[in-house]
Structure 1
Amino acid sequence: MEIITGVERRRNWRPEDKLRILAELDEPGVKFVDVARRNEVSRGLLWQWRDARRRGTLVAEEATFMAVRVVPELPVAASPAEPTASSFAADAPVERDERIEIVLPDGTAVRVLETVGTAALRRVLSTLRG
């Protein structure tokens, strides 16, 4: 039993802590109620966090690094039979394009305007990873 003798305030959870607790739910055989009880969190709050993670609004604030290679021009594809990221770039207009193109190792290409917000780009990239 816990006796509270002062003014009880709401806890302020960091995004990293929320994601750590939600990661416990992803383990096989774990019961939702046990995770909530162990971390002293209401089940309703866990459902809210889970929904926020699904929508992409709950993300870790720590920086992640990806390998980047800057090339002046993308090479033209050798065979037009299968479209690749470089063949899409060859079809683009020659004029200055104010877009950023990110080509992932699996060939997925993401093109966004230079003015895209950090939060929006983070949501897009986290969706592609998950």
Structure 2
Amino acid sequence: MEIITGVERRRRWRDEDKLRVLAETEQPGARTSEVARRHDISRGLLWYWRRQLRQGRLVVPGAPEPVFLPVQVSDPVPPGPAAPAVAIVDPRIEIALPDGTLVRVGAEVDAAALRRVLAALRR
């Protein structure tokens, strides 16, 4: 039992603390209600912080800002009289990174493998 003798004030949470608590909820086997109880906050507040994180209003310190990169879509078959009636579709995509690295990805590559390759290139 908790007895409050004075006027209770709202706590101020720093972004770093919010992110630390949210990280606890992402651990395997973690329960939102238990994390909320341990930090003496409501489950609703945790969901609100999650929404803020998704919307970009709660920012991870030191995380790079997202940027838009130029994309160029090119036709694999040049137009003209020599072009065949049916164009052959190449299911590959090319990803040109700012440092000049070029990654060609075929349709058979799954998303998890591509993530691992791109993560290795960022190092």
TM-score, structure 2 as length reference: 0.52
Matching residue of 2:45: 45
Structure 2 unmatched runs, 5+: 65-92, 104-121
1:32 aligns with 2:32: yes
CA displacement 1:64-101 (0-9 Å, x = unmatched): 68xxxxxxxxxxxxxxx95624xxxxxxxxxxxxxxxx
C-alpha distance in structure 2 between counterparts of 1:41 and 1:105, whole Å = 48
C-alpha distance in structure 2 between counterparts of 1:51 and 1:19, whole Å = 12
Map residues 1-130 of structure 1 onto 2, 5 A cutoff.
1-61=1-61, 63=62, 82=94, 84-85=96-97, 103=98
Give percent identity, aligned residues only.
54
The structural deviation recorded for 1:59 is: 1.1
C-alpha distance in structure 1 between counterparts of 2:100 and 2:4, whole Å = 54
Root-mean-square deviation (Å)? 3.1
Given that 2:95 and 2:102 are in contact with CA atoms closer than 8 Å, whether structure 1 keeps it comes out as no
Matching residue of 2:106: none
Structure 1 unmatched runs, 5+: 66-80, 86-102, 109-128
C-alpha distance in structure 2 between counterparts of 1:10 and 1:84, whole Å = 49
TM-score, structure 1 as length reference: 0.49
The structural deviation recorded for 1:60 is: 3.3
* Alignment: residue pair count: 76
Letter in structure 1 aligned against 2:96:
T
The structural deviation recorded for 1:106 is: 7.3
